[in-house]
Amino acid sequence: MFWIDIDTKDDLKRANFLIVKNSVKVVGDGIVSRHFNRKISTRISAFLVNKLTPNQMTAISFLVGIASALVAFIDIRLGGLIYQLSSILDGCDGEIARASLKTSKLGGYIDSMLDRFVDFIFLAVLAITHPITLIPALFAIFGSVMVSYSTEKYRADFHENVYAKIPKMRYLLGKRDERIFIIMIFCLLGLVYEMFVIIALLTNIRVMLTMHIVSKAKRCLANSEKS
């Protein structure tokens, strides 16, 4: 919590930035979000917090993500850059919602669902335009969906945030921001097949590690309760 007097437009800009910066998620961000995306998204959110609603920001992020897939048909390098931009903008709706006290479960639900559409469509476009990548592409797409499913399934079954409850989960690579950044790098290099192989391995190994970590944590909790 902080206090700031607002006397000028510059004061308002500074206050908006501080409010947004203090509204960033405490847990759940990947390495790329913490050290790169948030440095940009918070500045965008500070500029837009009094101009757009969280739902409007979600729609913009979604449309930019779809545009990245369409552009990838023509130029995968530019498509990869726009895909990364959509990842940065994806953090803005939550920042705006928390900063303006407009968070809602429905908004988070819709945002999560639209993210899955964007990820599938972008990877599907790369698989269609590079048919030789079909097998690793299928595993990469499946793994990408399963990463999100594994954490949301935990929330649904145990009614708690897995990253907050099990700190080890914060250090597993493969979150959405990390995947998109890797995809962008490999798109810029023109290494689509290699990208699909790495994403397939990264996501599916992460899901298996998630099951192991969760199982171990719940067994330890059960044993401690018995004792």
**Which pLDDT score, from 0 to 100, does residue 190 have?**
95
**Which pLDDT score, from 0 to 100, does residue 128 have?**
95
Angstrom distance (rounded) from CA 115 to CA 135: 23
Closest of 6, 25, 26, 1 to residue 16, by C-alpha: 6
The DSSP-derived string for the chain is -------SHHHHHHHHHHHHHTTS-SS---HHIIIIIHHHHHHHHHHHTTTS-HHHHHHHHHHHHHHHHHHHTT-HHHHHHHHHHHHHHHHHHHHHHHHTT---HHHHHHHHHHHHHHHHHHHHHHHHH-GGGHHHHHHHHHHHHHHHHHHHHHHHHHSS-HHHH-GGGGG-S--HHHHHHHHHHHHHHT-HHHHHHHHHHHHHHHHHHHHHHHHHHHHHHHHHHH-
pLDDT band of residue 26 (cuts 50, 70, 90) is low
Highest mean pLDDT out of 27-31, 86-90, 92-96: 86-90
The lowest-confidence range among 7-11, 29-33, 64-68, 127-131 is: 7-11
pLDDT for 222 beyond 90: no
Amino acid at 17: F
Question: pLDDT tens-digit profile of 112-121?
Answer: 999 999 999 9
Angstrom distance (rounded) from CA 86 to CA 90: 6
**Which pLDDT score, from 0 to 100, does residue 103 have?**
86
Question: pLDDT tens-digit profile of 133-182?
Answer: 899 999 999 999 999 999 999 999 999 999 989 988 989 999 999 999 99
Q: Burial letters for 208-217: b for 16+ Cβ neighbours within 10 Å, e otherwise?
A: ebbeebbeeb
**Which pLDDT score, from 0 to 100, does residue 1 have?**
64
**Which pLDDT score, from 0 to 100, does residue 124 have?**
96
pLDDT for 62 beyond 90: yes
Measured CA distances, 81 to 171, 173, 209 (Å): 25, 21, 30
Per the rule left: phi > 0, alpha: psi between -120 and 50, beta: everything else, 42 is alpha
Mean pLDDT calculated for residue range 186-215: 97
Angstrom distance (rounded) from CA 139 to CA 200: 5
Q: pTM for the whole thing?
A: 0.91
